[in-house]
Amino acid sequence: MGEHYFAERPDAATRRRSVDLVLPDLHLRLDTDSGMFSPDRIDPGTRVLLETAPDPPESGDLLDLGCGYGPIALTLASRSPQAMVWGVDVNQRALVFAESNAQAAGLDNVRFTLGDELDPGLRFAAIWSNPPIRIGKAALHDLLLAWLPRLTPGGLAHLVVQKHLGSDSLQQWLEGQGFPTERIASRSAYRVLRVAPRTEGRTP
């Protein structure tokens, strides 16, 4: 995984390689490097999310929160060619590779940026994420509270979290924050959570 993957400017020595993302509907060769999340293979949680979540909306703005080198964002862009996909991360090395991977795949409906550089008025028809659990519970909660309220009224978020890293407690916390949340898939110790926008009267 790499201890520096959630650093803004990783200091890990560069070691480029490629991984293959093979799904029933697409095959992408993605370049990666040290200092980013799961550089040696597609993370199993990411794969569970991509193989079990329902199809993303056909149009609108879609968000990959914590995009790394881009497997989720590029899958969204491929599956929803009429949508605009945004990938955000703190890791600038990963963002460079994500942009390069999008160009190599011929996907022009996806952009990658630091989260604080994205238009704060943008609202998302979908948010997909393999969230950075290892940044710590408090930081994770702050991250989710910054982005989940930016769902459109009919939008949905899909998050994948390992059971032993707190998927059940995260589901309970999200419910406590006013976001209706349900588990829609469970595989290989991973849980996929579907999160709906806050409903009136449920804001804590």
Give the pLDDT confidence of 17-29 residue by residue, as tens digits: 999 999 999 999 9
The percent of residues above 70 in pLDDT, for the chain, comes to 92
**What does the alpha-carbon distance between residue 15 and residue 144 come to, in Å, rounded to a whole number?**
31
Contacts of 142 (CB under 8 A, 6+ apart): none
Q: In this structure, is residue 97 part of a structural domain?
A: yes
User: Does residue 24 lie in a domain region?
Assistant: no
The pLDDT value recorded for residue 8 is: 59
What is the rounded average pLDDT for all residues in the chain? 92
Q: Cα angle vertex 111, ends 78, 158, to 5°?
A: 60
Look up the CATH number of the domain holding residue 130: 3.40.50.150
> What pLDDT does residue 135 have?
87
Say if residue 3's pLDDT is above 50.
no
CB atoms within 10 A of CB 108: 10
**Domain interval for residue 171:** 42-195
Q: How confident is the model at residue 1 (pLDDT cuts 50, 70, 90)?
A: very low
pLDDT tens digits along 125-175:
999 999 988 888 999 999 999 999 999 999 999 999 998 878 899 999 999
Q: Establish if 17 belongs to a structural domain.
A: no
Quick check: pTM over 0.75? yes
Q: Which two tokens stand for residue 104?
A: 């190599």
Each residue's pLDDT tens digit, 40-90: 999 999 999 999 999 999 999 999 999 999 999 999 999 999 999 999 999
| Confidence label for 2 from pLDDT (cuts 50, 70 and 90) | very low
- DSSP state letters, the chain: --TTTTSSS--SPP--EEEEEEETTEEEEEEE-TTSSSTTS--HHHHHHHHHSPPPPSSSEEEEET-TTSHHHHHHHHH-TTSEEEEE-S-HHHHHHHHHHHHHHT--SEEEE-GGGS-TT--EEEEEE---GGG-HHHHHHHHHHHGGGEEEEEEEEEEEEGGGTHHHHHHHHHHTT--EEEEEEETTEEEEEEPPPPTT---
- pLDDT(188) > 50: yes
The answer to the question of residue 75 being in a domain is yes
Whether residue 203 is predicted with pLDDT greater than 90 in this model: the reply is no
Is residue 96 one of the residues assigned to a domain?
yes
| 82 is a domain residue | yes
Domain-located, residue 23: no
Q: Using CA atoms, how far apart are residues 11 and 94, in angstroms rounded to an integer?
A: 12
State how many domains the chain has. 1
Residue whose pair of structure tokens reads 């569970």 in the numeric block: 48
Q: How many other β-carbons are positioned within 10 Å of the β-carbon of residue 182?
A: 12
Residue 201 has pLDDT above 70, yes or no: no
